Structure 1
């Protein structure tokens, strides 16, 4: 293989607005806290009006010094920035159900945020899920802006789709509907320039176990098996991320400033409230590091929090917005009590079944040093993208309706036992999401477990492949909160993983499906053995004990600043305004009230585009965002194969009383579960 140094890309001319001399103005119309995915989308869109001034404050560095490591897609596996200064390196609290393991939670800390370091998946949620979001906002004036019809158009607005070559299309058995894609947006959606041959067996093997191929996974029916689109620029096989898509191509914009190495420490408030008794943000305080002088900048119109699912609630609480008991314990003056700040935390949880194979893998090809000149760049654009979403009938077969009834019967117990707070508003929000998931999504075609085909090597060697299973709609919710007054300290993160027994059941059945895929044609023709968990794991109790010691994050935290009614512990309304304030909004993955059966990057790009439209409509007199409510039919979960062929487990009826955790097994999976 040609060395990676041969693939380094020349640094571009200084991108529009990025400030390298630390000099900014005293005031801007909009001050955006966070230069990740949503922050840079908003900066680009709001500054399209030359009369509007925009400042972005990003805690991390510009990323210029590690440009080649960001740009090469394969570096997500082979030269990752995780664990470096470009990663926030968060760690969870000990998780009781996981044997008190503390799980790493990496997040991107640079311009582009996690879009600069993730696994590049562009997987959209299904229409049913997005419409469920809008239905959680009864009576809110802009609820329809968050229906599928509206978010679908916003996601397409962000997109510049390139069809794969016939060679790549045939090699991967790739299916898509061109009408579900945008062609003129900033962000590249495409496929790798190289397909490892075994990928071609993915959808055929899924079909054999009753999970059919999806002909249009991006059009609102994101279930079944498919090869996902990725954020790759096919003109040069580089990563397309929020900085390279929305900022670097811009010409000079004197009304836009983007300051790296600037951590927002708190929002500053005007001494008086507005006529409705709401707090008015006058600006923000920020600093380059813990020991640096604190600086301030004024906001003429709005402060926008775009710090992500961890950063935005962290800023809000240090600014006096959040749960009263948290703020008063730290003697932080309560500007407005919002118990939902940091609450409703949801994440995708995953682990994998590993097989030894005789087939080529991406890892074995890379290690072979046999790539011809001119093929290294397309090969290094290869990333894992073979994926499937298994619905509840795929998991449980004929027992699925019984599972739903057990969930319904356990609602009251779940509210009392699983809630990490006594606040009735938080419990009402939990109940609303629980019931929406149980009644609208669970028995539909929407996936409850994601299956992902990983070919980039495991800790067992380059001749191994993995099929990962990830829970998509957890009934367990966690929270995060601050426990010091220093905004440079990480918040306390407690995802409360697998606290609800139903989550364990669904993940277990997903792992059984992963095993069955490795035993099914045509994939099984190249499988030598199952390496992990191996033949010793057979019974339900075996699976449960094993997975509790193995699971880790799929890197999709969200919902900590949920868009819900305020009396459901919501944090923002349907116009993204922070309750109790007149001019603070939140725009990032923290505002989703439910988890999607998807990777969060695509819906967050759509959300950010929609947020820009909402804000522009207020200030520029533009028409409001599309308000057509889609009428996606709920459908029902169906299964082509028999329950036994799909992993359905008729013994599941007795499994709501999961046995106590039997001890933790700490494993090193760094570099394996790169599924962003």
Structure 2
């Protein structure tokens, strides 16, 4: 069988050795890391690596990235579990060592169950594990950000940066593009960015069936979700390389491409435990962060490194506020209750985490023609060999690319009941007044979006 030979050939062609000049592991950290950098970035995930890449373009600027997770070794198909870059293996599990393994508190309305919270813990963060869906929100989503007081964050302001980030390739055969209603608009895409965005070589029959079903329900079929009109059903492009049909994550886009830069260091398996504030500053909101403390584990002695410019905290939605709070930045009442000295009383830190619930449903096909028989019966080794040989077949298809973002009004006649809910009903009674005011402003913006037919309020996904 040729499977083994193709496996090795795949390695040689598509996973070239990575320069180690800037990768600092815990065993050599004391010798290799400087005592001072211009910029220190906490978190080597999607945002952190993007920032590190941009800052280090200037050779006169020194940048250190501190990442709690490893540089993953799951891109080597010759070892068990080395299938991370393959779109068709998304959702197959086995990536626990690249996640934090977080769970919620017991949820009252879920029979007191704990629910898992997925967050990547590796160079590239959650982008090495996600479903590859490359989709922007509706125009009103970003305009809503600006209405909250964030000048410069509207759709029109952000579109040039959306385009700058991507290297878009329309690699769909005309027959498939017509059947699946894929009609990219070149005016809203970029073609010279860092992140490859394209389509899989293979589409399951289910994709067209699901789109037809959405159309029968009255949803518009959108030709390009990334033009700002997301309220409808569509085929999403994916963050994948169009030629070798592999995942293109933040590590590929912003770390591997910068591996020859002597001014960029990344220290892996290092957890930042404290932001170091200027001890000479008074207790006020203008205190300067001078550096960080970090360690590979809770049994190791912490080391500190200083910065001349900025510490940029990009540790994700959970650990960014956590780090701020343990450093004395947050709501004073909560910090005092934990015996944390208050350096900056900032009530909003730790509030406003909003995540979406998800409900799964299964269904059965009665008509066998809905699926090509091979999609169900093909041997996994045959599918793998086809992928390695030709970059074709089911392994090129990510878990999800057929989705709908219906407006609430298009989905239910009971949408008005949501208008009468008070934001006070869903936030803790001890929430600071300034935070309560922020929730009320958000609610008004969300109400306007609910009344609109142009904003997707929830998401329906059909997996492969």
TM-score by length of 1: 0.62
* 1:34–1:59 contact (8 Å) kept in structure 2: yes
2-side partners of 1:47 and 1:246: how far apart?
Answer: 10
Aligned to 1:488: none
Aligned residues: 441
Aligned to 1:395: 411
Q: Please, what is the CA RMSD of the aligned residues? A: 2.4
**2:443 counterpart of 1:445:** no
Instruction: Note closer, same or farther for the CA distance 1:104–1:415 as it changes in structure 2 (3 Å cut).
Output: same
Q: 1:375 offset after TM fit, Å?
A: 4.2
2-side partners of 1:345 and 1:214: how far apart?
Answer: 30
Instruction: Note closer, same or farther for the CA distance 1:47–1:150 as it changes in structure 2 (3 Å cut).
Output: same
Aligned to 2:151: 144
**2:415 counterpart of 1:409:** no
**2:233 counterpart of 1:225:** yes
Aligned counterpart for 1:12 among listed residues 17, 22, 26? 17
* 1:171–1:199 contact (8 Å) kept in structure 2: no
**2:46 counterpart of 1:37:** yes
Cα deviation, 1:571-594, whole Å, max 9, x if unaligned, reads xxxxxxxxxxxxxxxxxxxxxxxx
1-side partners of 2:93 and 2:352: how far apart?
Answer: 34
Q: 1:293 offset after TM fit, Å?
A: 1.4
Aligned to 2:361: 353
Q: 1:79 offset after TM fit, Å?
A: 4.6
User: SS state of the match for residue 239, structure 1?
Assistant: coil
Q: 1:199 offset after TM fit, Å?
A: 1.4
User: SS state of the match for residue 40, structure 1?
Assistant: helix
* 1:40–1:243 contact (8 Å) kept in structure 2: yes
**2:155 counterpart of 1:155:** no
Q: 1:250 offset after TM fit, Å?
A: 2.5
**2:395 counterpart of 1:380:** yes
Q: 1:120 offset after TM fit, Å?
A: 0.9
2-side partners of 1:368 and 1:75: how far apart?
Answer: 11
1-side partners of 2:384 and 2:161: how far apart?
Answer: 41
Aligned to 1:289: 297
Instruction: Note closer, same or farther for the CA distance 1:439–1:214 as it changes in structure 2 (3 Å cut).
Output: same
User: SS state of the match for residue 145, structure 1?
Assistant: coil
User: SS state of the match for residue 310, structure 2?
Assistant: strand
* 1:15–1:247 contact (8 Å) kept in structure 2: no
* 2:235–2:401 contact (8 Å) kept in structure 1: yes
2-side partners of 1:356 and 1:65: how far apart?
Answer: 34
User: SS state of the match for residue 69, structure 1?
Assistant: coil
1-side partners of 2:227 and 2:20: how far apart?
Answer: 33
Q: 1:202 offset after TM fit, Å?
A: 2.6
Aligned counterpart for 2:182 among listed residues 174, 198, 209? 174
1-side partners of 2:449 and 2:177: how far apart?
Answer: 34
Aligned to 1:77: 91
2-side partners of 1:19 and 1:323: how far apart?
Answer: 35
Instruction: Note closer, same or farther for the CA distance 1:366–1:335 as it changes in structure 2 (3 Å cut).
Output: farther
2-side partners of 1:61 and 1:123: how far apart?
Answer: 28
2-side partners of 1:157 and 1:416: how far apart?
Answer: 41
2-side partners of 1:64 and 1:363: how far apart?
Answer: 29
2-side partners of 1:419 and 1:111: how far apart?
Answer: 35
* 1:164–1:190 contact (8 Å) kept in structure 2: yes
Q: 1:170 offset after TM fit, Å?
A: 4.3
* Structure 2 alignment gaps of length 5 or more: 77-81
2-side partners of 1:417 and 1:356: how far apart?
Answer: 37
TM-score by length of 2: 0.89
Aligned counterpart for 1:454 among listed residues 456, 459, 463? 463
**2:144 counterpart of 1:132:** yes
Instruction: Note closer, same or farther for the CA distance 1:226–1:59 as it changes in structure 2 (3 Å cut).
Output: same
Aligned to 1:626: none
Aligned to 1:429: 438
Instruction: Note closer, same or farther for the CA distance 1:277–1:76 as it changes in structure 2 (3 Å cut).
Output: closer
* Structure 1 alignment gaps of length 5 or more: 138-142, 456-676
Aligned to 1:62: 71
Instruction: Note closer, same or farther for the CA distance 1:149–1:17 as it changes in structure 2 (3 Å cut).
Output: farther
1-side partners of 2:406 and 2:354: how far apart?
Answer: 19
Cα deviation, 1:29-48, whole Å, max 9, x if unaligned, reads 11000000000000000111
* 1:16–1:248 contact (8 Å) kept in structure 2: no
Q: 1:374 offset after TM fit, Å?
A: 3.7
